[in-house]
């Protein structure tokens, strides 16, 4: 049975995505990330973000405003006394107050005890003073459905832009 042309397109795209992921994982910026789940999330966001959002870049510092637009993901961002896993924002308005701070939580470090939960809640409140919003995903959520987590991030960002943070 001859392969349908659309099957060939799907195969070619799968190869292109696999090649893109290999290139992304080799970037030095991926080495500063704290875990494989963070690297996987960043790679998904970088490849899918370019496909769905247009201009999308992984950056190593908050960028200067760019009226041409596009989106960025900043790993291991320092906000006051805290370091967050990622900052997601737009090049059009990269002010921290217009961005989403993203935390990816491994079960062993977050909310296993009342003390851990209290520490995370206190941290989120402190970060919310600087950021448009702080969101958290568990490692299980990322592993199970990265696309949903990325979409939720973009949805939260959109609410900030509309003034509904």
Domains, the chain, in order of start with CATH, read 5-161 (3.40.960.10)
What pTM, to 2 d.p., does this model score? 0.82
Summarised one tens digit per residue, pLDDT across range 17-49 is 788 778 877 788 888 888 889 988 998 888 887
Quick one: which H or E segment has residue 17? Answer: helix 5-25
Give the pLDDT confidence score for residue 110 in this predicted structure.
47
Give the number of residues written for the chain. Answer: 165
- Average per-residue pLDDT in the chain? 85
Structure token digits, residue 104: 């990816």
Report which DSSP code applies to 134: E
Percent of the chain past pLDDT 70, that is, above it, reads 93
Identify which has the larger pLDDT, 51 or 28: 28
Summarised one tens digit per residue, pLDDT across range 69-111 is 889 999 999 998 999 999 999 999 999 999 999 999 875 554 5
Closest CA to 30 of 74, 84, 62, 72: 74
Closest CA to 74 of 8, 66, 85, 24: 85
Give the pLDDT confidence score for residue 136 in this predicted structure.
93
Closest CA to 40 of 157, 150, 152, 155: 150
Give the pLDDT confidence score for residue 108 in this predicted structure.
55
The overall longest dimension of the chain from CA atoms, in Å, is: 62
Give the pLDDT confidence score for residue 12 in this predicted structure.
87
How many angstroms separate the CA atoms of 159 and 151, rounded? 12
Give the pLDDT confidence score for residue 129 in this predicted structure.
86
Give the pLDDT confidence score for residue 111 in this predicted structure.
53
Give the pLDDT confidence score for residue 16 in this predicted structure.
82
How many angstroms separate the CA atoms of 118 and 108, rounded? 15
Report which DSSP code applies to 96: G
Summarised one tens digit per residue, pLDDT across range 112-155 is 678 777 888 888 888 888 888 999 999 889 989 988 999 999 99
Q: Are 149 and 142 in contact (CB under 8 A)?
A: yes
């Amino acid at each position: 049975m001859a392969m349908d042309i659309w099957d060939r397109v799907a195969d070619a795209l799968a190869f292109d995505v696999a090649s893109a992921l290999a290139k992304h994982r080799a970037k030095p910026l991926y080495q500063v990330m704290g875990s494989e789940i963070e690297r996987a999330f960043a790679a998904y966001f970088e490849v899918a973000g370019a496909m769905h959002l247009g201009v999308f870049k992984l950056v190593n510092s908050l960028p200067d405003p760019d009226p041409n637009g596009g989106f960025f993901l900043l790993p291991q961002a320092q906000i006051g006394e805290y370091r967050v896993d990622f900052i997601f924002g737009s090049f059009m308005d990269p002010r921290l107050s217009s961005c989403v701070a993203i935390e990816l939580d491994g079960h062993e470090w977050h909310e296993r005890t009342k003390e851990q939960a209290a520490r995370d809640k206190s941290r989120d409140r402190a970060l919310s003073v600087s950021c448009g919003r702080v969101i958290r995903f568990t490692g299980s959520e990322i592993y199970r459905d990265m696309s949903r987590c990325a979409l939720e991030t973009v949805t939260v960002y959109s609410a900030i832009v509309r003034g509904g943070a």
